[in-house]
Amino acid sequence: MNCRKTILAIATALSATICLTGCFTLDTADIHTTGDEHICVGNSGWYLFHFIPLACGNASEDPLMPWVFFRNDVTMDKIQHRFMDYANFYGKKPRDMSYYTQESVLFEIPGTDFPIPLPYLLTYKEIQLSGVMK
Amino acid sequence: MKWAALTLACALLSGCATVTVSRDGATMVNIENSGWYLLNFIPLASGNPARPNSCTTRIFSKTVTLENNVKMLDKVIRDEGAVAVRDINSFTVDEHVLLILLKRHAYHTSAQLLMKEDMEDTKAECISPILPIEF
């Protein structure tokens, strides 16, 4: 009975992690000294065996939900599309564009500090694009 | 002993806003602001962007934002007397403790500041000139 409860707790914690840590963000801030605008677009998500998307932030322009399941939105194309959409909407010219990507292929066993000793079973990916709008 | 443990816990969970300027060959600025969140969303403690490089922390307020990093960058630009700025870029780093129980969120911003003497061999389209102070 205890074992079943533990498995249920781990499954709940895993689901919450997957849902809450996959997130699309679009941050902007005005640089007052130059009159430019700084923008940082990012998305992250979870994958099974490194390739099968489980859950990630929703990069659609009109999202119904903040997350999407079994669809890969953590791609350079989708991030850059949202970045350029923003630039075109405000009629600005992008500059200083740079990508930052991060991957974690060893998932930690919930409640411990030890990773599952099988790389690529459950992986986390993140892509961020930063730039300046002139 | 209890006070020591409490102080250590507070120190570990406090946020930090730091601004570093390197002037070796080029004037580069690196800004970092970090903070701790409970269950991914509830801010516990984060760096104080109004007083970077000091041991001050803002409790229960979300200061780890791009806007605050850019405000710190604006201040450095004015303080250093730069005439233009280029290669501004930012990224975030998240670290989780016990899945979503605790999260450390950090925002990094870096840029190159251009002084008067750097302007001779710099193409105008690659830079953002600093506006006069009244703007």
Q: A6 CB near a chain B CB, below 8 Å?
A: no
Q: Are A43 and A21 in contact (CB under 8 A)?
A: no
Give the separation between CA B133 and CA A32, rounded to whole angstroms.
9
Are A94 and A125 a contacting pair, CB within 8 Å? Answer: no
Query: What's the pLDDT score for residue B113?
Result: 92
CA distance A111 to B135: 52
List, as one string, the DSSP characters of A34-65.
TTEEEEEEEEEEEEETTTEEEEEE---SS-SS
The answer to whether residues A98 and B90 touch, using CB atoms and an 8 Å cutoff, is no
The tokens of B74 are what? Answer: 């604006």
Percent of chain A beyond pLDDT 90? 48
Instruction: Give the burial class of B5: count Cβ atoms within 10 A of its Cβ; 0-12 exposed, 13-18 middle, 19 or more buried.
Output: exposed
CA B117-B118-B119 angle, 5° bins: 95
Helix, strand or coil, per DSSP, at residue A68: strand
- A93 Cβ under 8 Å from any chain B Cβ: no
> Tens-digit pLDDT profile for chain B (135 aa)?
676 666 666 655 567 899 999 998 889 999 999 999 888 888 998 999 998 888 788 888 889 999 999 999 999 999 998 988 999 999 999 887 777 778 889 999 999 999 888 777 667 667 788 887 655
- At residue B89, the 3 state secondary structure works out as strand
pLDDT at A39: 95
Domain ranges, ordered by start, for chain B: 13-116
pLDDT value of residue B13: 59
Which H helix or E strand runs over B115?
none
Q: Does A36 touch chain B (CB under 8 A)?
A: yes
How high is the pLDDT of residue A107? 77
Closest by Cβ to A33, choosing from B39, B74, B90: B74
Give contacts of A34 with chain B, Cβ < 8 Å: 77, 84-85, 128-131
Residues in A closer than 8 angstroms to B85, CB to CB, are 31, 33-34
- Region A69-82: mean pLDDT is 92
Chain segment A88-101, per-residue pLDDT in tens: 999 999 989 999 99
Running DSSP on this structure, what letter comes out for residue A102? E
Q: Mutate which of B88, B94, B97 to disrupt the A interface (most A C-beta within 10 Å)?
A: B88
Residue B69, min C-alpha distance to chain A (Å): 9
Supply the DSSP symbol for A115. B
| Better-predicted residue by pLDDT, B123 or A75 | A75
Domain boundaries, chain A: 2-133
Cβ atoms < 10 Å from Cβ of B54: 12
Neighbouring residues of B72: CB distance < 8 A, sequence distance ≥ 6:
B17, B19, B31, B33, B49, B52, B109
CA angle A26, B32, A98 (to 5 degrees): 50
- pLDDT higher than threshold 70 for residue A115: yes
Q: Which residues of A touch B90 (CB under 8 A)?
A: 27, 38, 40, 130
pLDDT score of A82 more than 80 = yes
Read off the pLDDT of residues A19-74 as tens digits, 9 standing for 90 and up. Answer: 666 789 999 999 998 899 999 999 999 899 888 999 899 999 888 888 899 999 99
What is the model's pLDDT at position B25? 83
Using DSSP, state whether B132 is helix, strand or coil.
coil
Q: Which two tokens stand for residue B124?
A: 């105008």
- Whether A110 and chain B come into contact, CB under 8 Å, resolves to yes
- Side-chain-side CA neighbours of B108 within 13 Å: the count stands at 10
| Interval A5-27 mean pLDDT | 75
pLDDT of B101: 79
DSSP code of A114? P
pTM across the whole model: 0.82
